[in-house]
Chains A and B, each alone.
Chain A
Amino acid sequence: MKLSPRATIITLLMIGLGAVPLIADGIDEPFYTVLFSRMLILSIGAVSLNLILGFGGMVSFGHAVYLGIGSYVVGIGTFHAVEDGVEWMGNGFIHIAIAVAASALAGLFIGAISLRTRGVYFIMITLAFAQMFYFIAVGNENYGGDDGLSLYIRSDFLGLFDLSNDNSLYYLNFFVLVASLYLTHRLTNSRFGKVIRGTKSNEQRMKSIGFPVYRYQLVAFVIAGAICGLAGVLSANQTDFVSPSVMHWTRSGDLIIMTVLGGIGTLFGPVIGAVAFLLLEELLSGVTEYWQLFFGPMLVLVVIFARGGIDGILVGLDRWWQNYFLKKKAEEN
């Protein structure tokens, strides 16, 4: 089997991500496991956003709200498990179940109202709902309010694996990422996914054919929320800390940046974008304290010049590669 350059790079990226803990342990720099763990978690968030943003054309500016919901489920659960000794509330399976259910419900509520609107109204109303949840978290003094909650234990998976080990958490993140990629792949190639994608390119036509567009979009919105809620569970365990800033509106902006930077509407684009985003942040902030002075304009330039993001560049590389071979063959003949 011959792989194109783009496929090779993406395969290497995924294999590389899978091998990070081994390499980090090998060179005795466990910090990298934590850094890449964050990349994986945000990748999951970006992959879920891509489902509605990239494939469905719904520009949600409040996607971080589900990260927040997932995080707070873990935060509140472990808080009661530690303070009141309620053991089942520290259970990771229960965390996941509740976080996914709560995020899906929130998605249903937000989507049901937001999807009645279009364009800029949709962007702003999703932002407004995210702000609502943000202020609920800020105002909730019982669970830390503005200052947030520190987690003294991580989700307990009944001895199946031990999350207090950063490597186990890393592989759990990796597994969830791969699973959500697979789900996205299956979804977008199914009949359901084709309706969603068709709606992005021409909503009027899909309606005329007879598809209940609103319902399809709502289901996609809910699925995206549920996956992102799961990322929130992982995020809380990763940082051992939950605060309203998880769902600050700039977080939602970051998720959009990652998705677009990597390549919107492509399967692996959000992963590439999340990795690139955090690497850039890490590198630039190592060089100068004022790293956003460079990051901001870079973003503008990416938007103006690099349509299709990094994945778009890879596609261009593929095309160049193919032409190169065709030319070579022509010369041989």
Chain B
Amino acid sequence: MNWVLLLEQTLNGFQFGILLFLLAAGLTLIFGIMDLINLAHGSLYMMGAYFAATFTQWTDSFLLGALLALPACMLFGIILETVALRTLYARSHLDQVLATFGLILFFNEFVRLIWGPIGLDIPLPEQLSGSVELFFGIRYPAFRLVIIVVGILTAFLLYLLVSKTKIGMLIRAGASNRQMVSALGVNINLLYTIVFGLGAALAGLAGLMAAPIMTVEIGMGEGILIITFVVIVIGGVGSIKGAFVAALIVGFIDTVGRSFLPDILGLFVSNDVADTAAPAISSMLIYILMALILAIKPQGLFPPKGA
């Protein structure tokens, strides 16, 4: 067993988990409060990456580009909510799946029309493109470390927002009983728009941070969207705490599984078999995990209260 590699992959898994959490937090809030299954959440992630790419080109600075992309994403989400999604809240899950699936088709084509079919690369600023020494001479890419730090900070801010502020109180109240909140005179439509904008900003943040380490391309939000759904289902739909725990578990298992499964399998079967079977099995690991968890706890690890 290679301990340095294990540590590195653990950090990578942690970093992936953080990205998943940023997506899952918005998605789970939107589901918990508006009862909306939003398949187009991955499109918000994609838009975050594309906005960041364009703004970085304009300003010649990734930091400025990222800072501009964030409000752009939020605005984009708010417009999307007001124009299209608002009418879907009262509809069945099937209708929501269908309509937001239609939105995915639209956004993918929209991006192809505006930015062209070829993927974009965002160059990293020099300070961030190197690696830093952690300890014992183990080096780790600086930008991935930034992702982890920004992610943890965001998670902390989100925690403060939800548990310590008035808006957060309304969000929690909305998640447990929507009718009551609106009956008490809260402008529930405004609350919905705010929550959606917040979710869009978080998804955009994940997208723009993922942009420099992956290619910015059409459909980049779909693969990660499905994994995000796995996360919120494992965590219990509507629970931010569940999303956090599940995102880290899924990120870790997916990343570490991919790099170590061939070795682990090699202990039990011949190397040839292990090498051919491992890629397929490691892609399946998180789905197996989800099936196991749902078979035991059909409502996820942290089921919403009152459900």
Taking Cβ atoms with an 8 Å cutoff, the residues of A that contact B are: 53, 59, 61, 113, 116-121, 123-125, 127-129, 131-132, 135-136, 138-142, 249-250, 253, 256-257, 260, 264, 290-293, 295-300, 303-304
Contact = CB atoms under 8 A, between A and B. Distances in A.
B171 interface: no
B98 A292 contact: no
Contacts of B209: none
The majority secondary structure among interface residues of chain B is helix
A120 B93 contact: yes
Interface string B63-105: 0000000000000000000001001100101110111011111
| Chain B residues touching A, range | 35 or more
B98 A303 contact: yes
A98 B222 CA distance: 33
Interface of B: 31, 37, 84, 87-88, 91, 93-95, 97-99, 101-110, 112-113, 222, 226, 229-230, 233, 237, 276-277, 279-281, 283-284, 287-288, 290-291, 294-295, 298-300
Contact of B102 (A116, A118, A297): A297
B239 to A, nearest CB: 13
B179 to A, nearest CB: 18
A296 B226 contact: no
B106 A297 contact: yes
Given A123-B93, A125-B290, A128-B230, A113 B109 contact: no
Given A116-B298, A299-B102, 14 more contacts: A117-B294, A118-B298, A125-B291, A138-B279, A139-B280, A249-B226, A257-B101, A296-B106, A296-B109, A298-B102, A299-B105, A300-B84, A300-B99, A300-B103
Contacts of B95: 260, 303
Contacts of B222: 249-250
Contacts of B295: 113, 116
Nearest to A133: B284
Contacts of A118: 298
A121 B281 contact: no
28 contacts: A61-B97, A117-B294, A117-B298, A120-B31, A120-B93, A120-B237, A121-B233, A123-B37, A123-B97, A125-B294, A128-B230, A128-B287, A131-B287, A135-B283, A139-B277, A140-B280, A142-B276, A253-B101, A296-B102, A296-B103, A296-B104, A296-B109, A299-B99, A300-B99, A300-B103, A303-B95, A303-B102, A304-B99
B225 to A, nearest CB: 10
A249 B104 CA distance: 13
Nearest to B307: A119
Contacts of A257: 98, 101
A138 B276 contact: no
A138 B283 CA distance: 10
A124 B99 contact: no
Contacts of A293: 106, 109-110, 113
Given A249-B226, A304-B87, A299 B291 contact: no
A138 B280 contact: yes
Contacts of A295: 102, 105
Contact of B97 (A256, A290, A297, A304): A256
A296 B39 CA distance: 13
A5 B153 CA distance: 63
B284 A135 contact: yes
